[in-house]
């Protein structure tokens, strides 16, 4: 040991003093350099981690949104198609019912017109009949007035009281 | 209860039948007095008419209103009398011939409520009705 100390010119006092110095320097460094640096590093790490996390979250959210968008679009397309289909069928149905109604109305109109014509015909025939009857009776009256002498009148009366 | 014209006429006929002319005169007078007492003189015309009807019925008399367009001749009136006698089983027929040119010929006989319409006017009317059907 002594030999070793001699070879390397180690002085215990000096060594001790140096050790004390080192400890002091270490303490000072620890207090004024290491702690703030560590704090900064920690903060940065945290910040980066947070940034990464945020980015991931954003990505996730973006993906979710895209998915949702797709879903909404599909739904909307489906709904639109359904509406179109429904309106088409309704229009068809409406057209059919309108056609049927028109047909019915037309038929009724024709029927009414026919009935009216028939009624008119009947009326006319009746009028003609009435007029003919009046004319015939008028003519007969004239003939009777001319031809009915007292002899003929007697014959008629005799027929009544037979 | 009020007494009707028919009831008056019936009772008048009942009391006057088979009575002499002078008795009937007295009865008629009394009857008019009764009417006046009952304040029913208004019924007099109706009673006279009803009395006539009852009298004719009871005595087999038929009063006939014969409407013609020309005045009926004697033989025609006789024929009508015969016809009525046969139809209504009456012994006497009184014919009142009325002239109405509107009937245009033939004859209408009115016996009481019955009407026998054999006029040319009716035949024409029926012809018209028939043609209009």
pLDDT digits (tens, 9 = 90+) for A89-117: 999 999 999 999 999 999 999 999 999 99
Give the separation between CA B79 and CA B98, rounded to whole angstroms: 17
**What are the helix (H) ranges across chain A?**
2-8, 12-29, 35-147, 150-160
Q: Which residue has the higher pLDDT, A84 or B21?
A: A84
> Tell me, what's the pLDDT at A69?
95
From chain B, the residues in CB contact with A129 under 8 A are 131-133
Q: Provide the pLDDT confidence category of residue A147 given band limits of 50, 70 and 90.
A: confident
Q: CA of A144: which chain B residue's CA is closest?
A: B104
Interchain contact, B131 vs A129, CB within 8 Å: yes
DSSP state letter for A54: H
pTM over 0.80: no
> Which residues of chain B have a CB within 8 Å of the CB of A134?
128
Per-residue pLDDT at B1 exceeds 70: no
Greatest Cα pair distance in chain A: 205
- Spatial distance between the Cα atoms of B115 and B126, rounded to a whole number of angstroms: 16
Over residues B78-127, the pLDDT tens digits come to 999 999 998 888 889 999 999 998 988 899 999 888 999 999 999 999 99
Q: What value does the mean pLDDT of chain B take?
A: 88
Kind and range of the H or E run holding B63: strand B61-68
* Shortest distance, CA B79 to any CA of chain A (angstroms): 8
Q: What letter does residue B42 receive in the DSSP assignment? A: G
């Amino acid at each position: 040991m002594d030999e070793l100390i001699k070879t390397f010119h180690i002085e215990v006092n000096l060594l001790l003093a140096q050790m004390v110095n080192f400890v002091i320097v270490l303490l000072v460094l620890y207090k004024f350099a290491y702690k703030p640096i560590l704090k900064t590093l920690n903060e940065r790490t945290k910040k980066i981690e947070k940034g990464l996390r945020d980015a991931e979250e954003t990505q996730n959210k973006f993906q979710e949104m895209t998915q949702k968008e797709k879903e909404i679009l599909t739904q909307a397309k489906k709904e639109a198609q359904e509406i179109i289909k429904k309106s088409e069928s309704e229009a068809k149905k409406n057209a059919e019912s309108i056609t049927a109604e028109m047909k019915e109305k037309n038929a009724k109109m024709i029927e009414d017109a026919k009935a009216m014509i028939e009624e008119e015909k009947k009326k006319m025939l009746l009028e003609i009949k009435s007029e003919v009857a009046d004319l015939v009776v008028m003519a007969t009256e004239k003939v009777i007035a001319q031809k009915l002498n007292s002899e003929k009148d007697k014959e008629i009366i005799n027929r009544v009281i037979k | 209860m009020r007494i009707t014209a028919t009831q008056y006429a019936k009772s008048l006929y009942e009391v006057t039948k088979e009575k002499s002319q002078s008795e009937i005169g007295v009865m008629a007078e009394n009857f008019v007095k009764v009417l006046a007492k009952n304040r029913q003189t208004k019924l007099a015309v109706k009673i006279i008419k009803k009395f006539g009807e009852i009298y004719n019925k009871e005595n087999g008399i038929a009063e006939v209103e014969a409407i013609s367009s020309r005045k009926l001749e004697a033989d025609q009136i006789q024929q009508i009398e015969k016809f009525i006698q046969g139809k209504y089983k009456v012994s006497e027929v009184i014919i009142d011939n009325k002239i109405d040119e509107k009937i245009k010929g033939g004859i209408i006989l009115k016996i009481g409520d019955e009407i026998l319409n054999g006029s040319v006017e009716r035949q024409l009317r029926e012809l018209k009705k028939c043609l209009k059907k």
